[in-house]
Amino acid sequence: MTEHNPPLRPTPPSFFERANTLVKESVTIKLIVIGFLTLIMLIPIGMVESLIHERTYRQNDAKHEIGKSWAQSQSIGGPVINIPYHDHYIDSDTKSRGTMHLLPDDFSVSAVINPEIRYRGIFEIPVYQSVSEVSFYFNPEHLKEYSDRKYDWDKMTLSFGVSDPRGITEETMIEINGSKTEFQPGLPDHDVFDAGIYIPLTTNWTDSTKSSITGSTTLNLRGTGSMFFEPAGKSTNIDVKSSWANPSFVGSFLPNSREVTKDGFDADWSVLQYNRSVPQVFSGRNLLSSYQFGVDLFTPVNHYQKSERSIKYAVMLIALTFILFFFSQAINKIRIHPFQYFLVGLALCLFYTLLLSLSEHLGFNVAYGIAASMILTMISLYIRQVFGSLKFTLITSGVLAGLYIYIYTLLQMQDYALLIGSLGLFIILGLIMWLSLKIQWGGASTSKTEIDQPS
């Protein structure tokens, strides 16, 4: 009798083999993996963003260090006449004392700012030396409202506010009603200014016919970054000229007129007493610094700001690249391992580190071109060697180059960046929707012929 061996049953696939087959063939699983890898890329993106913030802080520290040695940003305030007074006796030994402050009717400044660049390591910090021609006029008639007070006329002073007196570069004289006097350091009180200079006044205001005070002075100041003015006058008029071509007008008031060219700027302010809540005569603390205004020597090419703006598009760039790989994989039957997605994502993140480091030395625009070229070359060579498809390599490289050009265009815009960005995303989403029609999602067909086929 002939024995017949039963046919061998095929060995069922293991769990890992089934999972591997599912990952290779399931579109849904592939999308889940791509989404997970995109989220993983947020970690290196966050690290690069922290690096940008750290470099920005170092730049600010460099500015502060130069300011400590040179002088900080300056604010000119005043002049103010200070008159100590005492009202009445409270008891036999104590008087109610205070200081009356009189602001000028007219306060005018004509300033010229001469900028320079100082360096702290790789950081460029704008500093300046300024010459300010100051004129003013005081009307003592404003004191009539407080004529019942007993003033110590022999202790009357005139003070100017200078936020950082270390920036005063020359001995400063002031002319009062034709007589010249040298300023003294410090302030008799800090009711109006936190720092500055002053002179004792010898004007005789003890009789009923108080003469007005007219004066002028020249302040030679150096500072870092910004220069401000405080509207001390009933009418305050400020004119500022400089060869700095990129001013930023800041503070409580914008210029009434300004002219900015490649050779510098000229700006004029006119502020009235109605524009501030400080009266012409007052006692006690009433700082004018809360109403200061002026100009900041703005650095137009701040590569840290542009690098920070560019990294906000990092997730979009990585997601679109992964989607491009996914469509190529699904349509052209190209197998791409998740680890290869991961390596390409790391290369895209590396772009921002290259951009930041190169821009510190070459400027943002040149650094962007070099960093983008390096990453495009790396990814293109990798795709060509791994997949061996010249067509896939050219398509991927072209799309990535287009994305880098698109992001660079957005970074160069200010007013229209949101509009162009929204339109660009609209077009990209439309292309993705069109490409999705070419994929068999879960084996189901979406062709019109099959939809219209009667059952």
Per-residue pLDDT of the chain (455 residues; tens, 9 = 90+): 455 555 555 666 655 555 556 555 566 666 777 778 778 878 888 787 777 777 777 777 777 777 777 888 889 987 999 988 876 555 555 567 788 899 999 999 999 999 888 877 677 788 889 999 999 999 888 888 877 778 888 888 999 999 888 888 888 888 888 888 889 898 888 888 888 999 998 776 765 567 788 989 999 998 888 899 999 889 999 999 998 888 889 988 999 999 988 888 999 999 998 888 888 888 877 778 888 999 988 776 567 777 777 777 777 788 888 877 777 766 666 677 777 778 888 888 888 888 888 887 887 888 888 988 898 888 888 888 777 778 777 877 888 888 888 878 877 776 666 777 777 777 877 777 776 666 666 544 444 444 444 44
Residue 120 CB-density burial (10 A; 0-12 exposed, 13-18 middle, 19+ buried)? middle
Task: Report the 10 Å Cβ neighbour count for 268.
Answer: 15
Which pLDDT score, from 0 to 100, does residue 73 have? 87
Q: Cα 72 to chain center, whole Å?
A: 18
Rounded to whole angstroms, how far apart are CA atoms 145 and 135?
A: 26
pLDDT at 416: 67
Whole-number Cα distances in Å, 432 to 323, 409, 453:
8, 22, 27
> What DSSP designation does 443 have?
T
Segments making up each domain of the chain, as ranges: 27-55+304-442, 72-300
Q: Which amino acid is at 105?
A: D
Residue 22 neighbours by CB under 8 Å, 6+ apart = 29
Cα(122)–Cα(99) distance, integer angstroms: 49
Q: Report whether 201 contacts 156 (CB < 8 A).
A: yes
Query: What tokens were used for 128?
Result: 């300046």
H or E stretch including 115? Answer: strand 106-120
If we measure between CA atoms, which residue out of 420, 384, 418 comes closest to residue 405?
A: 420
Q: Is it true that the peptide bond before 79 is cis, omega within 30 degrees of 0?
A: yes
Written as six digits, the tokens of 71 are 């002088």
d(CA 171, CA 270) in angstroms, rounded, equals 29
pTM for the structure as a whole: 0.66
Please name which of 349, 400, 404, 354 lies closest in space to residue 374, comparing C-alpha atoms.
354
Domain 72-300: give its CATH code.
2.60.40
**Long-range contacts at 50-55 (CB < 8 A, ≥ 24 apart):** 51/353, 51/356, 52/304, 52/307, 52/308, 52/311, 52/356, 53/308, 55/304, 55/356, 55/360
- Report in angstroms the alpha-carbon separations of 157 from 171, 199, 200, 203, 293: 19, 6, 4, 10, 26
376 by DSSP, 3-state: which? helix
Q: Which amino acid is at 324?
A: L
